[in-house]
Structure 1
Amino acid sequence: MSIEAARGAASAAKVALVACGALAQPAADLARARGWALDVYPLPPLLHNQPQLIAGQVERLVDELMPTGEPARYRRVAVGYADCGTYGALDELCDRRGLRRLPGLHCYDLFAGAETMAATFAAEPGTYVLTDFLVASFDRTIWRELGLDRYPELRDDYFAHYTRCVWLAQEPTPQLRARAQEAAQRLGLPLQVVPTGTGRLEAALTDLLD
């Protein structure tokens, strides 16, 4: 067998994960740590600001990874998204194409659990949620995306009805903790830290890949 053929055979034994940009890195880290035969293909995390586009972008990448009439590059493709505000569009895509996605309404469920998140919002509806990704990318994905770098006076309009900021901390390092505190202060909200780890995401990925 040629080197090219061997590489192709090795790739075809893998699963491709079309992943939300906010989940791609922890998914890739888990795959590497657990030795999973998984390649992660992230889509831009800013798609969450236009969730109506997510299903179409996922399908386009699925078509690239599993082109019709060509030898399979992967054993199968999985979808590394929860519903993420698509209101069932991802489920329709998965049903139509024979795919599976991660469970839950949003990525917060994959870190803290759906019951915990439901209780969090029920206890205090004005809860603004951050993950490690959102803390690390706060300037780009929140501050600049909302235009607060140009119009900081809009902060109080945007966040007038929020009462707290909850950080779902997968890896609460001192550096991330400091950045989470700074992010909450810039939003004018008190910070609550909820350590979650990545155990629920790992279990969901394990089930998805099984």
Structure 2
Amino acid sequence: MTKVQKATNTPADKPADRLLVIACGMLAREILAVKEELGLDHLDLTCLPAEFHFYPDRIAPAMDKAISEAKARGYRDIFVGYADCGTGGMLDAVIEKHGVERMAGPHCFAFYQGMEAYRKVADDDMMSFYMTDFLCRQFDAFFMKPLGLDKHPELIADYFGNYEKLIYLAQTDDPELDKVAEDAAKLLGLTYERRPTGYGDLVGGLARAAGSVA
């Protein structure tokens, strides 16, 4: 069963007066940070499981259900906190069905960098393994244990042998996360690069969605 983090409203407001963002769990901390930074008090957040990062075929049906349930609760303004994220257009079909919008781009690694900047580096980054703040925090839970690398490090070559570089797209300046990314690059035998991106296009995307409701 899909677990969804439910949105909460302030007592004085009704769902019809608010914006609901239904997002990837990998973006929860960042969306809340942008909400606070921009003072988007009328924004509520609901997240689908972060593990869908590994199962993109689950995103569209789960989003379809989440949007339908949100509308039943009274939300009229809904924004999808996903890019395409490997759904091959399936998510866009759901978005069109419900008449909502999503973050532009193929994945969060693109919109964190900003779509214009990403287009310039996409070809050069083809053999690069991206990490974000979330993936640094969850490196063991998302990679080491599920892939069995904690017990069988010899599998690293099988999983990461085609990569040449690890690129850490840093949303914040956190020495502990920097160290995780650097250590991961060494463990995986990849050249290391750190790109400070901040929240990229996520800021503008949320601001535009919230502005249409305010």
Normalised TM-score (structure 2): 0.87
- How far apart in 2 are the matches of 1:108 and 1:42? 18
Structure 2 contact 67–98 (Cα < 8 Å) conserved: no
Are 1:107 and 2:108 an aligned pair? Answer: yes
Are 1:58 and 2:59 an aligned pair? Answer: no
> Which of the two has greater helix per residue?
1
For the aligned residue pairs, the C-alpha RMSD in angstroms reads: 1.8
Q: Give the letter aligned to residue 49 of structure 1.
A: F
> Measured at CA, do residues 8 and 64 of structure 1 come closer, stay the same or move farther in structure 2, by a change above 3 Å?
farther
Q: Give the letter aligned to residue 117 of structure 2.
A: T
Aligned-pair CA distance for 1:7: 2.6
Aligned-pair CA distance for 1:189: 1.0
- How far apart in 1 are the matches of 2:157 and 2:50? 25
Query: Gaps spanning 5+ residues in structure 2: where?
Result: 1-9
Aligned-pair CA distance for 1:128: 0.7
Are 1:26 and 2:27 an aligned pair? Answer: no
Are 1:12 and 2:12 an aligned pair? Answer: no
- How far apart in 1 are the matches of 2:12 and 2:153? 51
Task: Please list, as runs of the form range in 1=range in 2, the aligned pairs for 1:111-130 lying within 5 A after superposition.
Answer: 111-130=112-131
Structure 2 contact 114–200 (Cα < 8 Å) conserved: no
Q: Runs ≥4 in structure 1, deviation > 6 angstroms? A: none
Structure 1 contact 110–204 (Cα < 8 Å) conserved: no
Q: Which of 45, 50, 63 is the aligned partner of 1:40?
A: 45
- Residue aligning to 2:6: none
Structure 2 contact 168–193 (Cα < 8 Å) conserved: yes
> Measured at CA, do residues 34 and 114 of structure 1 come closer, stay the same or move farther in structure 2, by a change above 3 Å?
closer
Aligned-pair CA distance for 1:125: 2.5
- How far apart in 2 are the matches of 1:199 and 1:162? 24
Percent of matched pairs sharing the same residue: 35
Q: Give the letter aligned to residue 59 of structure 2.
A: I
Structure 2 contact 115–201 (Cα < 8 Å) conserved: no
- How far apart in 1 are the matches of 2:64 and 2:181? 34
Find the residue that maps to 1:185 and give its secondary structure.
helix
Any idea what the Cα deviations from partners look like across 1:138-187, whole Å, max 9, x if unmatched? 11112222222232211111111111100111112111111111121221
Give the number of the structure with larger relative contact order, counting CA–CA contacts within 8 Å between residues 6 or more apart.
Answer: 2
> Measured at CA, do residues 115 and 142 of structure 1 come closer, stay the same or move farther in structure 2, by a change above 3 Å?
farther
Structure 1 contact 127–165 (Cα < 8 Å) conserved: yes
Structure 1 contact 129–167 (Cα < 8 Å) conserved: yes
Q: Between Structure 1 and Structure 2, whose CA radius of gyration is higher?
A: 1
Structure 1 stretch displaced more, 141-150 or 105-114? 141-150
Structure 1 contact 127–166 (Cα < 8 Å) conserved: yes
- Residue aligning to 1:3: none
Structure 1 stretch displaced more, 195-204 or 104-113? 195-204
Aligned-pair CA distance for 1:65: 1.7
Q: Give the letter aligned to residue 184 of structure 2.
A: A
Structure 1 contact 81–101 (Cα < 8 Å) conserved: yes
